[in-house]
Amino acid sequence: MADRTPPRPPRAGWGNVSKNLAMWVLVGLFALALFQLLNNKRTGVEELTYTQFSQQLDAHNVKAVEIFDGRYIEGEFRAPLTLNGQSVTGFKLMLPVADSEEFVGRLESEGVVITAREQRGALTTILVNALPWIVIIGLWVFFLRQLQAGGSRAFAFGKSKAKMLTGDTPKITFADVAGADEAKVELQEIIEFLKDPQKFTRLGGRLPKGALLVGPPGTGKTLLAKAVAGEAGRPFFSMSGSDFVEMFVGVGASRVRDLFEQGKAHAPCIIFIDEIDAVGRHRGAGLGGGHDEREQTLNQLLVEMDGFESNDGVILLAATNRPDVLDPALLRPGRFDRQIVVDAPDVKGREGILRVHTRKIPLAPDVKLDIIAKSTPGMAGADLANLVNESAVLAARRNKSLVDMQDFEDAKDKVTLGLERRSLVLSEEDRRLTAFHEAGHTVVALHTAGADPVHKVTIVPRGRALGLMYSLPDKDRYGHTREFLVGRLAISFGGRVAEELEFGPEKVTTGAGADIQMATNIARQMVTTFGMSERVGLMAVGDREQEIFLGREFATRREISEHTARIVDEEVKALLDAAYMRAHELLTRHRGLLEAVAGALLERETIDHEDVMTLMRGGTLPPRPPEPPAEPRPAQPPKAGTPAPARAPILGIPPAEPAGA
């Protein structure tokens, strides 16, 4: 992306300052070392003992001396002296007795030229005395250079951390984004406004102040912002909401001011703040009052977006997956004029996302992206990108040159169901119990009207589950009928009922715990939220007790009366009992199919939709094909006394419920 306006010169960073400072320190140390070397290693000067000096004095070979502090002597010989194979013309030594009049008289009698000098301090003493002044002068010069250069990080707490994207940044365009067509149209309009404002202002339109991207995690909000940066052709500043907040009071507000100053200097431009809920949360909802750092930052952001001063030409683009916690003043028109919803893609959007992420991946001819898109309902863009990556990794692990459909199927199972735990060794009794448990889910699902088709049933442990039944909707669901939810309750109890019928009530296990919990959650939502109970009626009951914040203190408020709470519990219990009886009736009636599905699972461990339909029609499955030899893995049997892992609840439940073990 090319900038049409020249950017400001970069500030002097801490890296450049530290390099200059280190260079001068090295130069100073080198000079000191050189001075000391020249001072201590002068040519022709040797340190003598007093005995050697006395001998040369008696031989009339001492010409002149300099006496420092009455004890330290430096001097020169009349004739060069050979010591240790070297010619010596000067000497130095320390006298055993200081200020000796006898020694001075001896020098005079020998005709030696005597010079007395004051004490000369050592190099270390000089440096210690001068060190405070050196530090003060050095710091003064350092700070002066930084102020002239625009300030370093030591002076830049209040400076914005926004990164400006230039033409050197790899471009991401709208061609790299799929599954968010409406959001792309809205953002494309903002880009056209930046490129050709006359097209809109001639009819009285004005440049929008801001656009807020709202959607669940992984739907591509940040990717859309990168595409806007690639398409706009204007300066684009990127920053995270957490970058505003520091431990120093007032830093966030200062960074907001500096960010908009940079934006006005490069206007028209776009400023993107990712995860704006980190700084834009509702004011007055915490214990910090109105003076904490986060609220000051939010106040400054509100003023900069639509305050007394105008910020024409600066568009604020922000993203969040928590719009419910944002301050209302931030969401009003004039600040964020547009709220763009980026939701999970539909089947066509998922196919487009898969095509974008498979551009650089060699695909086998049997890969059908439309089929993969239909079999991945509810997946967001990040999930599909992960699916494609896992498929490529699996194909590479299997030494393939192309990624085929089987790799995608295995990767989808790994992403949605969990990693296979082949190393977990189950006893034959546990395998039979797991097989009948999953067969119970399967048989009830096959005979429940409106239920999602069974996609795969397995007793291979995955994740924390010993087995699971996986159902996939044949189309995207945006709402659920009462018939569908009642069917889900019955399917949830299918595993527990199958255990009772085959092994007896005394042999049931804890494997149905997750199923019972999921069924209870669905039933309570049917009664309290969806209005699907005649006794409770069309009333959103909510929680029985709720802790709320009232300005300065917390208070507990009761949402419903004890009588209504009792009715809710009775209605939830009635729904669960009816679902249990329905599952018991279906499995009793189709006991033969239950045993056939369980037998197929014990033989094959995993069966798919076609296998299940063959068994339902009364057919038999062909012999199991031989599997390639697997790599040996250390198998450790479960320790005695370890609680049995919960079997995964059947998948394909409503979006409000957890889909997994």
CB-CB contact of 98 with 67 (8 Å): no
Question: Measured between alpha carbons, how far is 8 from 12 in angstroms, rounded to an integer?
Answer: 12
Number of helical (H) and strand (E) elements in the chain, helices listed first: 20, 16
- How far apart are the C-alpha atoms of 357 and 372, rounded to whole Å? 13
Q: How many CA atoms lie less than 13 Å away from 181 in the CB half-sphere? A: 6
Segment (H or E) for 83:
strand 72-83
Q: CA-CA distance, 314 to 263, in Å (whole number)?
A: 6
- Bridge partners, 465 (sequence order): 462
Pairing of strands 606-608, 45-47: unpaired
Q: Is 438 labeled as catalytic in the residue annotation?
A: yes
DSSP-derived secondary structure for 216-254: -TTSSHHHHHHHHHHHH-S-EEEEEGGGG--SSTTHHHH
- In this structure, how many other beta carbons lie within 10 angstroms of the beta carbon of residue 115? 11
Q: For residue 442, what are the β-bridge partners? A: none
The DSSP symbol for 359 reads T
- Residue 278 CA to its chain's centroid (Å): 14
Q: What are the residues whose beta carbons fall under 8 Å from the beta carbon of 586, sequence distance 6 or more?
A: 443, 444, 447, 448, 490, 494
Residue 198 contacts residue 229 (beta carbons within 8 Å): no
- Give Cβ neighbours of residue 619 (< 8 Å, ≥ 6 apart): none
- Report the C-alpha gap between 470 and 455 in whole angstroms: 6
Which helix or strand (DSSP H or E) is residue 597 part of?
Answer: helix 591-604
As a whole number of angstroms, the distance between CA 187 and CA 319 comes to 13
- The tokens describing 295, both together, are 């609220």
* Number of residues that this document lists for the chain: 661
**Cα 156 from chain centre:** 25
- Count of beta carbons in the 10 Å neighbourhood of residue 121: 11
Beta bridge partners of 86: 83
Structure tokens at 255: 């960074």
Which of the following is catalytic: 304, 438, 502, 571?
438
**Which DSSP state fits 345?**
-
Structure tokens given for 377: 């309902």
Judged by DSSP in three states, 128 sits in helix
Neighbours of 276 (CB within 10 A): 28
Name the 3-class secondary structure at 271. strand
Spatial separation of the C-alpha atoms in residues 564 and 616, rounded to whole Å: 44
DSSP 169-205: SPP--GGG--S-HHHHHHHHHHHHHHH-THHHHTTT-
Tokens coding 516: 């019972």
Beta-strand relationship, 314-320 and 269-274: parallel
Task: Tell me how crowded residue 405 is: count the other CB atoms within 10 A of its CB.
Answer: 16
CA 382/CA 354 separation, integer angstroms: 11
At 469, give phi and psi (nearest 5°). Answer: -115, 125
Buried b (16+ CB within 10 A) or exposed e, 48-62: beeeebeebbeeeeb
Q: Which residues are catalytic?
A: 438
